[in-house]
Structure 1
Amino acid sequence: MTTLHSANTVIKCTDLGKCYQIYDSPKARLKQALWRGKKQYYKEFWALKNINFTVKRGESLGIIGRNGSGKSTLLQLICGTLTPTVGTVHAQGRIAALLELGSGFNPEFSGLENVYLNASMLGLSNEEIYAKLDDILGFADIGEFIHQPVKTYSSGMSVRLAFAVIANVNADILVIDEALAVGDAVFTQRCMRFIRKVEEEKCLLFVSHDANAVKSLCSHALWLLKGSKQSYGKCKTVTLDYLRYCTATSYGEETELIAVGEETSTAKVQDDQSLYCEDSFQADNCYDYCTETISLDNLPNANGWKTGQADLIEVSIRSIDAKNNDDNILKGGEQVEVVIRAKANKAIKSPALGFILKNRLGQDLFGENTLITRKNDTVISAMAGDELKAVFKLVFPMLPSGEYTLTASIADGDSNSNTQHHWLEDAVLLTVLTSKVRHGLVGAFINDVKLTIKAGP
């Protein structure tokens, strides 16, 4: 692995491949050694083949794929712990990797000894490690267990210590292979804050089976399938392709999914549409977050898939508040209707319609489906040509400024087993303007806020 001379390119893989020799028996391995390559007694297994991509400084790449697709092999090649069979991999700068649970640790050593061992393997001198020791121990937060052998640690404690080391070595490339799945909520949030800081200036490689986690953290994505590059590009497009593939695989050969739509750009808001509002309490004594949400029908351009057994023909969200003069503009806190209409092209035994509201990172904020209307196992079937309509009435939350999408679907089955006959990721585009919601993914409907000061003695 050599070093790049480009200032912007951090990682570059060219025709990268890794092949393993699989022998049927020890005898075959011995024969191969004796014949010195004149005759082949093994089968070739290509864990990776023809992998090409480039990651620049400030970019983050999510690597997704099912078990055995070659994700971990690719990371090991980038980190230099494996040697490629063909092709080249170039990296610029120091690499800090969390490849698997306990990697880089000696189980017989104490946590403190492993800190020095792991940090020195990442290129730090003893003086640099000593200077950063308090930060490392504070990040790990495992208390007196730092002096105990690592073999006595739980999986969560091992990850805490390993991540604390790589978070403090000032690496140019951060590589994470799903290790955060074993951490508790508080530690995971701490790691996420660090990861987002890394993304601003350096390079992140993140491996996960969770497409939503990849969309949340990464700007680009690489989908590996049986060692080959299946898709590479913008995160939203690649994760949608992966989700469609996983869904089709779970349905089996009897159901074929057809891709719907192409990637669309979310509606942009012009500067002259911005609003100004001073803090005030409304007459109904509810705090005004100055939120204005504009909804835009995007059904003809939406991305997704379908089986052909049913089609979504309408997806909309509108205000039903009598005080609202424009039902396409939502303020937050008012009653709204989400309407989904679909047409059955073939008979559907157990139809269900539903929606999910997502933010620009693809994170699910809230949603519902018509399965909650079923009582005592009663199911209403739909015949070919029937039109189905679902109406969801709810109080619309206050949302931070930004862009959102409404995903809609029609399915056949129940919550445990179902087939999504038509799934559209961005059937409705929503843009929130000038919101004063400052904390969290959604704002609460605040009815009253009081501050009381009691005079001291």
Structure 2
Amino acid sequence: MSSDNFDKILASASPSIGSPAVTSSDFAIRLRNVTKVFRIYARPQDRLIQMATLGRVRRFREYPAINGVSFDVFQGETIGIIGRNGSGKSTLLQMIAGNLQPTSGTIEQKGKLYSLQLGTGFDPEFTGRENAYLGATILGMSRSDVSAKMESILEFAGIGEFIDQPVKTYSSGMYARLAFAVAAHLPTEILLVDEVLAVGDLAFSQKCMRFIREFKSRGTLLLCAHDMGSVMALCSRVVWVDGGRIRMIGETKEVCDEYRKAIELEGDSTAELKFGGRRGERPPEIPPAPDHRAEILRTSSLANEIKVFDFDDDAAWIGHRAGSIVSAGLRNWAGLPVTNLAGGENVVFEIKAKAHLDLERPILGFTVRDRHGQVVFADNTFLTYRHDDIVVRAGETIVGRFAFQMPYLPTGDYGITVALATGNQAEHIKQHRVEDAIFFHVLSSHVAKGLMGIPMQSITMETVQELSA
């Protein structure tokens, strides 16, 4: 493409002088009764017949990809959009981005928006460099400003000489690299991210996550993803789209838990999977007590302060209920229940279950999650007893015990989910899984990075004398 033609396109993409400034409001995006209907033609020639008859002969059926969706995204908020393939998530984001027009309803936007969606946002005939200039110009940057940042964009993307090749020749990973590199250098106020985190290598994915976390502190983020870990780690609220409609909208962990439950129910081949209990509320947050040792705690391996709450036998559960978990809890090395921990000590986590029917090859396990729903650590009995054909008869009780050193944990709330299953690691039947059966609260901690700190058996440092040859 000639530079003259490309410069004309840049000029037409620039915002017109005198355009109204963005007004301040409490929302960044507002959707009201948004519907998108696609026309589905059974045969290619039906489309021609429809056009030739000027619509007098109807040769299509209507497919409502999005149907009557309404919600607000507030300024500075991070919203997750989840749902199965084909539920309408990407169509919804494409309408918010302006790549598709709704059939009916309204979408309001307050602020400069940039969309990170594979297959959209870039002109496939333009080179990566040309697309970077075009995207930046649409958001109001001058060509000279983009040129000043181009070296940094190239370094972030890391695609080398491919920056001057047409985007249509890029792999999905290269496309994602360029998209993130451009987004990181634009004056964006609203960022849409659609499944882009699923591509690329580990190093680049970590770089993208660092950028997204930094963007969260200054902008509005809509994240569409199948990775529940990313959604729970980043989002304050979640919209669950199912069949083109909003099935649920609310607090992240609550919506993600219900979504996972629905997926498990739909994936179960029998009609015997049951649900019950109530979703427990986390205990009220206990503010960390002032401590004159705070600086020492932040820079040393001194103990956490961990408050452990009792087993909730009325917590939300799922399973076939051929057996039930009747109790679970942390105990010290002497077998006595503990309600306070300091991190680093030897503990035993005990799960007790009762069989209502015969249980063949039972598995007991637990999962510890933080307040975002991220798994901190987990384990089960399968590996230890994988070669044993254990059968627990109806009416019998089985007890599983896990002995370990309690890790050091960052401050905050944690939940322990306990589970009883039968079968093996790959193929098993959930008999009774109790969500957030136990809560515990970490009041203070020296752990500043990562999900947890590991108790060290020994840490040494010494000088050594190198022997000369």
Q: Same fold (TM over 0.5)?
A: yes
1:371 corresponds, among 372, 376, 382, to 382
Preserved CA contact (<8 Å) 2:118 2:175: no
1:162 aligns with 2:161: no
4+ runs of 1 displaced by more than 6 Å?
Answer: none
The 5 A counterparts of 1:336-355 are 336-355=347-366
- 2:453 aligned partner: 443
**More deviation, 361-370/115-124:** 115-124
Preserved CA contact (<8 Å) 2:359 2:392: yes
1:133 corresponds, among 143, 150, 172, to 150
Shift of the 115–372 alpha-carbon distance from structure 1 to 2, 3 Å rule, reads: same
- 1:246 aligned partner: 263
Shift of the 26–442 alpha-carbon distance from structure 1 to 2, 3 Å rule, reads: closer
- 1:65 aligned partner: 83
CA-based RMSD of the aligned residues comes to 2.8
The answer for unaligned runs of 5 or more in structure 1 is: 281-286
- 1:425 aligned partner: 435
The answer for unaligned runs of 5 or more in structure 2 is: 1-19
Which deviations, in whole Å up to 9, do the C-alpha atoms of 1:270-310 show, x marking residues without a partner? Answer: 45586847749xxxxxx642312111124245334233333
**More deviation, 345-354/63-72:** 345-354
- How far the C-alpha of 1:371 sits from its partner, in A, is 0.7
2:217 corresponds, among 200, 204, 218, to 200
**More deviation, 86-95/153-162:** 153-162
Q: Hey, what's the Cα distance between the residues in 1 that align with 2:56 and 2:161?
A: 59
Shift of the 183–31 alpha-carbon distance from structure 1 to 2, 3 Å rule, reads: closer
SS at match of 1:10: strand
Q: Hey, what's the Cα distance between the residues in 2 that align with 1:75 and 1:278?
A: 45
Shift of the 55–108 alpha-carbon distance from structure 1 to 2, 3 Å rule, reads: closer
- 1:51 aligned partner: 69
- How far the C-alpha of 1:208 sits from its partner, in A, is 0.9
- How far the C-alpha of 1:446 sits from its partner, in A, is 3.1
Shift of the 97–264 alpha-carbon distance from structure 1 to 2, 3 Å rule, reads: same
- How far the C-alpha of 1:429 sits from its partner, in A, is 0.9
- How far the C-alpha of 1:344 sits from its partner, in A, is 2.6
Q: Hey, what's the Cα distance between the residues in 2 that align with 1:239 and 1:393?
A: 30
Q: Hey, what's the Cα distance between the residues in 2 that align with 1:126 and 1:99?
A: 24
AA of the residue aligned to 2:419: S
Q: Hey, what's the Cα distance between the residues in 2 that align with 1:57 and 1:266?
A: 29
1:397 aligns with 2:407: yes
The two structures have a TM-score, normalised by structure 2, of: 0.86
Aligned length, in residue pairs = 444
Which deviations, in whole Å up to 9, do the C-alpha atoms of 1:331-352 show, x marking residues without a partner? Answer: 2222111111122333333321
1:218 aligns with 2:229: no
The 5 A counterparts of 1:35-434 are 35-38=53-56, 40-101=58-119, 103-272=120-289, 276=293, 279=296, 288-300=301-313, 302-320=315-333, 327-376=338-387, 378-434=388-444
Q: Hey, what's the Cα distance between the residues in 1 that align with 2:403 and 2:451?
A: 21
The 5 A counterparts of 1:1-12 are 7-12=25-30
Preserved CA contact (<8 Å) 2:287 2:443: no
Q: Hey, what's the Cα distance between the residues in 2 that align with 1:227 and 1:381?
A: 46
- How far the C-alpha of 1:146 sits from its partner, in A, is 2.9
Preserved CA contact (<8 Å) 1:77 1:84: yes
Preserved CA contact (<8 Å) 2:307 2:340: yes
**More deviation, 429-438/300-309:** 300-309
SS at match of 1:403: strand
Q: Hey, what's the Cα distance between the residues in 2 that align with 1:36 and 1:388?
A: 73
Q: Hey, what's the Cα distance between the residues in 2 that align with 1:129 and 1:416?
A: 51
AA of the residue aligned to 1:419: I
Q: Hey, what's the Cα distance between the residues in 1 that align with 2:218 and 2:249?
A: 22
Preserved CA contact (<8 Å) 1:240 1:304: no
The two structures have a TM-score, normalised by structure 1, of: 0.88
**More deviation, 6-15/149-158:** 149-158
Q: Hey, what's the Cα distance between the residues in 2 that align with 1:361 and 1:372?
A: 28
- 1:284 aligned partner: none
SS at match of 2:404: strand
Which deviations, in whole Å up to 9, do the C-alpha atoms of 1:345-378 show, x marking residues without a partner? Answer: 33333321110111121111211111112243x3
- How far the C-alpha of 1:396 sits from its partner, in A, is 1.3
Shift of the 247–275 alpha-carbon distance from structure 1 to 2, 3 Å rule, reads: farther
SS at match of 2:211: helix
Which deviations, in whole Å up to 9, do the C-alpha atoms of 1:64-102 show, x marking residues without a partner? Answer: 11110101000001001101112111111111111115x
